[in-house]
Amino acid sequence: MALKKDDDGRRWVEMEFAVPGTPEQVWQAIATGPGMSAWFTPTTVDERVGGAIEFDFGEGMGSSRGVVTVWEPPMRLGYEEYGWSGDAPPVATEVVVTSRSGDRCVVRMVHSLFTDRDDWDDEVEGFEAGWPGFFAVLRLYLRHFAGQPAVNLHAMTSHPGDLPQGWSVLSRALGLTGVDVGGRCETSTGAPKFAGVVERIHQDGALRDVLVRLSEPHPGVALIGSCVADGQTMLMVSMYLYGAHADTVAAAEQPKWQEWVAQLSA
């Protein structure tokens, strides 16, 4: 869905998606620090209107900070982020959870910017393009791991080739070439331990990723992808590990993955 505009200077994108779980379970996942860290990126939330919210995107990517503007559990969350792109005005995010029968919910997310300038239109539209992979992680988290302790690890590097070349290098090295949804995959020789079942495959002109429900190195979810950012091809491995000992496994695996991914930039 494209960027929308109105006569008052508001520009926004909106998304709506279904997830398993009760409103309370979904709220814990989309409105608290431990919940968002379990499927998105390490996050801290001071759970009140006026409280701070911060997303940590890791080394080289920085963080995004803001303030909670709406806190109505388990139905509605709002926050504003500042300094997210140069001198851009704050971007306001609203998340609404609506209950459906059968322990399911619909989540509606809206990102809004109030300005009469079009300088940041592409970046606002980019919010919409970047979320679906994370929403797929969220669904698997709620379906299989809701409420369990969660730790994530991320490894990323640039690649000198174009998007198809970069994705070919990454997918071949991880044994993902030619896989289909429902098929099992595991890493080729030389890569860190990685095995599981493919849950989702996505490819377009700006992003390619595969979502895997992990059995090794620990129960969890992996989002493996390649995208184009600021004219560069980026290769990324994100893992979300759940349950007992997830923190110990993540601490051991993080340096292995960062070192291995860095070699792919050659």
Q: Whole-angstrom Cα distance, residue 225 to residue 232? A: 14
CATH code for position 200: 3.30.530.20
Q: Let me know whether 132 and 166 are in one domain.
A: no
Please, what is the Cα angle at 91 between 88 and 93, to 5 degrees?
A: 170
Cα 16 to its chain centre, rounded Å, is 16
Say if residues 38 and 242 touch (Cβ distance below 8 Å).
Answer: yes
User: How many CA atoms are closer than 13 Å to the CA of 28, on its beta-carbon side?
Assistant: 15
Q: Let me know whether 100 and 231 are in one domain.
A: no
Q: Which of 145, 168, 191 is the last residue of a domain?
A: 145
Q: Would you tell me how many other CB atoms lie within 10 Å of the CB of residue 97?
A: 25
Q: Whole-angstrom Cα distance, residue 61 to residue 266? A: 21
Q: Let me know whether 198 and 231 are in one domain.
A: yes
Confidence of residue 248 (pLDDT cuts 50, 70, 90): very high
Q: Let me know whether 167 and 46 are in one domain.
A: no
Q: Whole-angstrom Cα distance, residue 248 to residue 151? A: 9
Q: Let me know whether 139 and 166 are in one domain.
A: no
Q: Let me know whether 112 and 22 are in one domain.
A: yes
Lowest mean pLDDT segment, chosen from 59-68, 104-113, 180-189, 231-240 = 59-68
Kindly tell me the burial class for residue 144, based on how many C-beta atoms sit within 10 Å of its own C-beta (0-12, 13-18, 19 or more).
middle
Q: Tell whether the model's pLDDT for residue 204 goes beyond 60.
A: yes
Q: Let me know whether 40 and 117 are in one domain.
A: yes
199: containing domain: 150-263
Q: Let me know whether 255 and 138 are in one domain.
A: no
Number of domains into which the chain is organized: 2
Question: In this predicted model, what pLDDT tens digit does every residue of 42-77 receive, in sequence order?
Answer: 999 999 999 999 999 876 666 789 999 999 999 999
Q: Is this prediction's pTM over 0.75? A: yes
Q: Let me know whether 47 and 121 are in one domain.
A: yes
Q: Tell whether the model's pLDDT for residue 36 goes beyond 60.
A: yes
